[in-house]
Amino acid sequence: MAIFMGNQVAVIVGTTTISTFVSSVALNREVEAVEITSMTNTSRNYIGGLEASSLSLELFNDFDGATSVNALFENALGTKLNIKLIPVTGTVTASNPSYSMSCYIGSWQPISATPDSPSTASVTFPVTALLKSTSA
Amino acid sequence: MSMVPSNVRNGLKTNLTTITGLRCFDIIPDSVPLPAAVVGQLDLVFDTSMARGLDTAEIEILLIVGRMSERAGQNKLDGYLAGSGSSSIKAAIEADKTLGGACSTLRVTTATAGTITNAGADMLAYRYQVEVIG
């Protein structure tokens, strides 16, 4: 797969696909830098520490049913949810890898509204485990 | 959901038909009996959400009331322009925001004054903009 448009990302929460409620998604991978500068170094020196990635979502909110967007996240508040992302909805391959993660749902916006637009939720969750896979 | 334009226009026409005395069209007629509302075409913006979930459309609805010189026309227009009430265009359209399942939601965003020439005469008219998501 070459470059691709970002309009087909699959977002799966547990077993529920919520892609059609997602207007923006960003998985930010980050590893903390642990400083190991010693007396012999002429510049600061680092090694990789713990991964501290995060997942940001812009969602159209929905209260309709037990697997609605709001129910999925609000019911999980204070716990973790398994979330899976696939760059292009469809088969997971080496050129279309999946990212499976456990996210701590520490915050949620059941109400975020203005009179001139649909109700949305803008959230960022810390990722506590992340696995990249090239096969389903 | 992916909107079917004809279903959206039909749904808007159906909602507008609840206003007593207002003739409603979802195609542009050759001649217009007054007062009338004509549902226009959709201006679409695709990919509001991922995986072909939602698109956004802007639709213009043309409300033509009567000759500019008629007081009755102005009086009718006041009722149509109101934000609520049995003659309110906004209230009628937003009474069923899914248009019977043709879209996810909608909102009447603006109503702009203007005139239109019908059968050689200048008519009081308003252009309504409706934002449809679905």
Model pTM above 0.80 = yes
Give percent above pLDDT 70 in chain A: 99
- What is the CATH class of A10-34+45-133? mainly beta
Q: Distance from A114 to chain B by nearest Cα, in Å? A: 12
- Are the C-beta atoms of residues A60 and A23 closer than 8 Å to each other? yes
What's the rounded mean pLDDT across residues A107-123? 95
- Partner-chain contact A19 B109, CB within 8 Å: no
pLDDT by position in tens, chain B (length 134): 789 999 999 999 999 999 999 999 988 777 788 899 999 999 999 999 999 999 999 999 999 998 877 777 788 888 999 999 999 999 999 999 999 999 999 999 999 998 888 778 888 899 999 999 99
Contacts with A10 from chain B: Cβ below 8 Å: 50-51
Contacts with B107 from chain A: Cβ below 8 Å: 116
Closest of B3, B7, B10 to residue B24, by C-alpha: B10
What's the fold here for domain B5-133? STM4215-like (3.30.2000)
Residue A80 pairs in a beta bridge with: A104
Question: Which positions 75-94 of B are in contact with A (Cβ < 8 Å)?
Answer: none
Q: Specify the residue for token string 């043709």.
A: B102
Given a cut of 80, whether residue A18 has pLDDT beyond it is yes
Phi-psi region of B93 (alpha: psi -120 to 50; beta: other; left: phi over 0): alpha
Under the banding of pLDDT at 50, 70 and 90, the label for residue A1 is low
Contacts with B51 from chain A: Cβ below 8 Å: 7-10, 19-20, 89
Closest of A128, A133, A104, A134 to residue A52, by C-alpha: A128
- Please count the CA atoms within 13 angstroms of the CA of A23 that sit on its side-chain side: 16
Contacts with A23 from chain B: Cβ below 8 Å: 48-50
- Are the C-beta atoms of residues B106 and B132 closer than 8 Å to each other? yes
> According to the model, what pLDDT value does residue A47 have?
98
DSSP state of B97: T
Q: Distance from B6 to chain A by nearest Cα, in Å? A: 22
ipTM: 0.84
Given a cut of 90, whether residue A6 has pLDDT beyond it is yes
**Domain parsing of chain A, residue ranges:** 10-34+45-133
**Domain parsing of chain B, residue ranges:** 5-133
- In terms of DSSP H, where are the helices of chain A? 69-74
